Structure 1
Amino acid sequence: MLRFGFHLSIAGGCVKAARAAALLGTDCLQIFSGNPRGWKQKPITEPEAGEFRSEVSRAGLNPVVVHAPYLLNLASPDPQLWRRSWLGLAEQFKRAACLGAKAVVAHPGSRGEKSLKWGVRRVAEAVCRAYESSGGQVPCWLENTCGGGSLLGGDLSELAAMLKLIPQGGACLDTAHAWGQGYALDNQVNVAGFLDLVEDVLDFEQVKLWHFNDSKVELGSKRDVHTHLGQGFIGEKGFKALVSDSRLHQASAIMETPKENSLSDKQNLAFIRRLEALAACTPQ
């Protein structure tokens, strides 16, 4: 069976996110380790980290991952921003290790007017520098993007090219981003085709995590607008096909769906678990 979880807020401290995950009855968890839109990160004290690790252990949350701040651009042609970005990623590695997290999820970034080949190498070098600088405590899982402009990682082949240069790397695949890039996921045939491509281009051993998000925007829009599962263009058929495919049966999926009220996460979790239960009862 799949393991499901959410990206949860750390307002009031990381331990509150772990406790919220436990109350929801989830299997895994994603958090920011600090301010997602700022360079300056509040230090994590050992008592706070220890309490978080204990709560995670009690709740049986696995994996727990840290999402890198949005300001990082690991592909930046600007030398100062690029250095600041890989140093920022190194800090996230250290913070994740302190919290007992399994990995840091990061977006590859934008290469500006530089070539694709240059951008791929730029990201790989940034990740490897950050990993070495942090002492190699946790890996980086690069997330696919919705493409568009000079964003890297929309095409699965770009992720594969980066990961070939990152010995300790892995991939995180977001369904809404894949849809925005142009990978159809709205029915069983399209999902099977996409997973065939993942298998051929990336290999499932490299896909360490999934982000299950529906999309408000049309296929190939190059835009990233998440919505509740089953309420977007991917829809119920798409997510039922995903949970039905045996290649994902041991996978972990984090939902980054809107939190409009106190019931939003419960409703999304109930939706995906209902589809999984239906899939288990349906002959393949």
Structure 2
Amino acid sequence: MRIGLHLSTARDAANAVEMARRLGLDCLQIFAGSPRTWRRVAWSAEETARFRAGAALAGLDPVVIHAPYLINLAAADEALWSKSIEALTDQLRMAQAIGAAGVVVHPGSRGARPLDWGLERVAQGAARALAAAGGQSKVILENTCGAGGALGGRLEQLAAMLDLLGDAPCAVCLDTAHAWGAGYDISSADGAAAFVDQVDDVVGLESVLLWHFNDMKLPCGCGRDIHAHLGRGRIGRAGLAGLAQDPRLAAAAAVMETPKDSRWADRRNVLYLRRLVLGQAPGGLLTPTA
């Protein structure tokens, strides 16, 4: 399993690559700008070149960009839908510039519109962004907790969107916390194995470019999403170990989006996951986070 983190590019994008190198990461996820605004932070040509060269030298594969949270590819409002497509296009162009494999994006919310309408709307929006951006950086559709009109809570919805996109460069990202929030009980070895079975049957493991390995503070099926440090949430060690040690995920890329509430947090979670992959007890890694 290739282990990575979501790291900050604030002040200097190359800082994320240097931190990844220090932590011994295999892959990396970043924001290309603020995730909570429409405004893009422009990288200079020098910064872009240094990031790309540094990531290649560090052997980070894949590198992915996480899209801003404001994007809603299922929006019924035409202005918001168009703005979302434009923003995703910009993110895809940025991914191509830095050599990233693609852009992770939440499909969005259909509101009160029918499910089939929403799935088609997402596929149309993603296809337009891909066509406008050109290149081969992928749209990577992430699963969600599925509350309300949010799309992507069920594996069948992700599979349907992939089918609608056909041969377009697209893939899936599976977040363990989101799966738990959507009602997939992966808190045991058997539950984790059953979930991977479902992923393979419904989506196809070959379509999963990235996993987000996060523990979860809230109950299974809650429809909400609050990440926890690995082993300190409701999914827990048994479920996470079941996924980490599944031979079908031996070559998978696993990025953690765990809390950054101390200077030890990232290192602790990386070591925890590495020990799970190796079948070792993660004891001794419970460094206080305060």
Q: Verify: 1:241 aligned to 2:213, yes or no.
A: no
Residue equivalent to 1:7: 6
Q: Measure how far apart 1:44 and its partner are.
A: 1.9
User: Quick check: 2:96–2:135 contact (8 Å CA) kept in 1?
Assistant: no
How many Å separate the matches in 1 of 2:41 and 2:209? Answer: 28
How many Å separate the matches in 2 of 1:238 and 1:145? Answer: 19
Q: Which runs of 5+ in 2 are unaligned?
A: 282-290
| 2:195 counterpart letter in structure 1 | F
How many Å separate the matches in 2 of 1:279 and 1:142? Answer: 32
How many Å separate the matches in 2 of 1:143 and 1:101? Answer: 16
User: Quick check: 1:44–1:95 contact (8 Å CA) kept in 2?
Assistant: no
How many Å separate the matches in 1 of 2:228 and 2:34? Answer: 23
Map 1:269-284; keep pairs closer than 5 Å.
269-278=270-279
Q: Measure how far apart 1:200 and its partner are.
A: 0.7
Residue equivalent to 1:223: 224
Q: Measure how far apart 1:271 and its partner are.
A: 0.6
How many Å separate the matches in 2 of 1:215 and 1:58? Answer: 34
How many Å separate the matches in 1 of 2:254 and 2:77? Answer: 34
What is the RMSD of the two structures over their aligned residues, measured on CA atoms? Answer: 1.1
Map 1:1-284; keep pairs closer than 5 Å.
2-166=1-165, 167=167, 168-278=169-279
Q: Measure how far apart 1:279 and its partner are.
A: 6.5
User: Quick check: 1:73–1:110 contact (8 Å CA) kept in 2?
Assistant: yes
1:141-173: per-residue Cα shift (whole Å, max 9, x none)?
100000110000000000000011122211000
TM-score scaled by structure 1?
0.96
Q: Measure how far apart 1:266 and its partner are.
A: 0.4
User: Quick check: 1:68–1:92 contact (8 Å CA) kept in 2?
Assistant: yes
User: Quick check: 2:245–2:278 contact (8 Å CA) kept in 1?
Assistant: no
1:40-63: per-residue Cα shift (whole Å, max 9, x none)?
112222111100011112211110
Q: Which runs of 5+ in 1 are unaligned?
A: none
How many Å separate the matches in 2 of 1:272 and 1:264? Answer: 12
How many Å separate the matches in 1 of 2:265 and 2:95? Answer: 27
How many Å separate the matches in 2 of 1:42 and 1:159? Answer: 30
The percentage of counterpart residues that share the same residue type is 49
Where does structure 1 differ by over 2 angstroms across 4 or more consecutive aligned residues?
A: none
Count the aligned residue pairs: 279
User: Quick check: 1:243–1:279 contact (8 Å CA) kept in 2?
Assistant: no
